[in-house]
Structure 1
Amino acid sequence: MNRTSSTGRVALVTGGSGGIGKAVVERLVEDGFAVAVHYAGNAAKAEAIVAEIAGKGGQAIAVGGDVADEAAMAAAFEATTAAFGGIDVLVNTAGIMLLSPIATLDLADLDRMHRTNIRGTFVVSQLAANRLRAGGAIINFSTTVTKTSFPGYGAYVASKAAVEGITLILARELRGRDITVNAVAPGPTATPLFLDGKDEATIASLSKAAPLERLGQPEDIAETVAFLAGPARWVNGQVIYANGGLA
């Protein structure tokens, strides 16, 4: 059965049960979106978010699948369309970060990041390019480390530089469709993806690196996404750095 949001707009958020993804889901729901909360492996977490949204009067469903699997993601797009009548916004927060100096990187880790971060972004961007309604937005995720070039991030940055390339070219390929395509590049943000594996001294140092002298919060990034998903119709083919002035 189709359901309707208060704005009639619908978003699919990959990685929607994660740190930034969950904040994005909650922020878009505040703006009246119906949201499909995508998960890769933790269905219970996604269902809990959906239940919380429903309890507050919002509209949401959970959809699963490997972002790099085109059949699984096509099914996620179809489930979202069946539930809400169409899709206006695709937010691709799904990603993995495995850190190591380039000289000692386990190449299996390079392959894992390539599959999720590059192929996954390509798969969902391709599906969105063929399925989003006019007036829609595709929002991918890069990283500020493409500018700061922190040691240990070589393979991760390589994957995110590819995301930027996909994003900027797709924006131009969708000429005449009234669909914007942009990437958000967060700075150090207090999520498990960022915090895991870092000692307190490293976290403290990074929290002071930006002029605002704090780590970003998932809600800070979600505000940028909400801008691109809603009023920012003249922002297209851009990488937006949400990093407190770090770079």
Structure 2
Amino acid sequence: MGSGYEVIEPRCPFCNERLDRPRELEPMRRGDFEYGVCRCGAVYVHDVTGFNLGAAMVEALEFACDADLDLAWDLMPDEDYHDALIEGYDIKKHLIYPAGHDYEGHRVKGALSFIRLADDLRDTKEQGVRQKYHTASPPPLAGSRTSSAVKAARKKRFSKREVAKAVQKEDLELLTKMASKDRLVLRKMQRLLYNADPKKRWQAVVMLGAVAGAMAQADPAAVGDLLRRLLYAANDSAAAN
């Protein structure tokens, strides 16, 4: 286009198939990511910040290996697997903005990190990866019927807006209760650390520390996962600078 503005749909860099929107799975160890699986067997990991690409690529490799860490760390790039990266991805619109910004000039920082195992390795791991991926079903369409069990399960998940509102109110008691019911709350609070407003960013720092401290004895594993994600995020940010 003459304006230099371009939008394209997400496609697999290995087979050119259209990609489904990445989904949230149970928290993994290295960051705040969403996951996807292409029809060709390639996996992809979404990093909304675009700053954690190293951690996202490692997460994609381990996801492709169905969490077999011994196998993942024994593989050789370009021999046992191939990787690829697509930047300028907006997960809400499920579109790629190659210029790195949308038509209103807003930056699009998201990135998709891809791993495709060699055929023999993929044959042994793909079924487990797909089963894990499909445990996180996308939300039903508006107006569709849902079972009481699904509705009950959904009550244990809190939206990003609910989390942000509780942080803004500095409601430690509410945030702690939310985090005890839904581990993804800590991940959503971590996202607020990247807010462009310094005041809101510091507010998120204070509340995240307070909630983690309140949960440390009851759920040390969740707090440990948070600390790992923060360390990897800091490492990626330092490398970028």
Choose 1 or 2 for highest CA Rg: 2
TM-score, length-normalised on structure 2?
A: 0.29
TM-score, length-normalised on structure 1?
A: 0.29
